[in-house]
Chains A and B, each alone.
Chain A
């Protein structure tokens, strides 16, 4: 089974709007990361948040982490058509040696 479950599975918004997606996971983690996958391409690392952090920003991205609820959210502000992609969360466990990915959220930003 997947460590991360993402919600919603798909999201359609207008350019300029914000996009929010959530990730829940089952076991204790070291770090949580978010990746973007454009159609037909590999995944690209966006941002990492450590288990002792609650919020992190990078450009138009804002990530939150609630370890008590075992959940994270990714907010993309002022979305652009180029943000159209699938977004995945990934976790690694303490002393782990791999990332476990969620099922992804497909985001469509309409111009």
Chain B
């Protein structure tokens, strides 16, 4: 059983399109995160939800909108995609930072 699963794994789309990435965790964790990993491998937090409540909203264009229908799911919707949005997006979950994160396998988004 995959603990944190993201779909799709790859996403190629044209500039201006709207796309969504889905994430689900079956670990019972209360907190979920979205991170963006750029081409130089830097990981930057975007959003975090704790029990469906938004607790972290970093400086991210408002074209990015997270949604958490329940504590096991955290989706990311991106409007009007731009070339600079090309990256790998990781979902992660955690029960307590002391135990670290469990990451999904990532969604590689390519905007052309």
Chain B 88-112, CB within 8 Å of chain A: the 1/0 string?
0010100001111111111000000
From B33, B90, B98, B100, give the contact of A98 (CB < 8 A). Answer: B33
Chain B 24-43, CB within 8 Å of chain A: the 1/0 string?
00000001010100001111
Chain A 78-111, CB within 8 Å of chain B: the 1/0 string?
0000000010101010001111110110100000
Chain A 15-57, CB within 8 Å of chain B: the 1/0 string?
0000000000000001101010100111111001000000000
Cβ of B56 under 8 Å from chain A: yes
- The reply to whether A30 and B97 form a contact with Cβ atoms under 8 Å apart is yes
Q: Using a Cβ–Cβ cut-off of 8 Å, how many residues does chain B contribute to the interface with A?
A: 25
B-to-A contact residues, CB < 8 Å? 4, 31, 33, 35, 40-43, 45, 48, 50, 55-56, 90, 92, 97-106
A-to-B contact residues, CB < 8 Å? 2, 30-31, 33, 35, 37, 40-45, 48, 86, 88, 90, 92, 96-101, 103-104, 106
